[in-house]
Structure 1
Amino acid sequence: MTDILTLVFRTFTSQTDGSEALTGPPTSPATCSALLVGDAGLSRSVLLLAAVTAASEVGVRVVFFTQTRIQSLPPCLQKRVPGVSPESLKKILFSYPRTMEELLQQVARLHEPTNTSPAPPSLIVVDGLEGFLCERGAGLAGFHPGEQSVQAAHLSALLCDSAAFLTRVLRSRSPGADPCRVVASFQSPGDGGQAGGEASAADPTLEVLDRYFRVRCTLDRAGSYEAAAGGLHEVWDIYLSGTGMADASGAKECEDRPAAAQEWKLLIPPDGLMEFKLV
Structure 2
Amino acid sequence: MDLNTVTDVRDGRSREPWRPGDAWLGGGTYLFSEPQPGLRRLVDLSRMGWEPLARGADGSLEIAATCTIAQLSRHGRRMTEAAGPLVEQCCRAFLASFKIWNMATVGGNLCNGLPAGPMISLTAALDGECLLQAQDGARRRVKVVDFVTGAGRKDLAEGELLRSVTVPGRALGCRTAFRQASLYGLGRSGALVIGALDPMDGSLAVTVSAATVRPLRFWFPLPPGERELRRVVDAGVAADEWFDDIHGLPQWRRHMALRFAEEVRRELVRG
TM-score, normalization by structure 1: 0.27
TM-score by length of 2: 0.28
Which structure shows the higher strand fraction?
2
Higher relative contact order (CA 8 A, sep 6+): 1
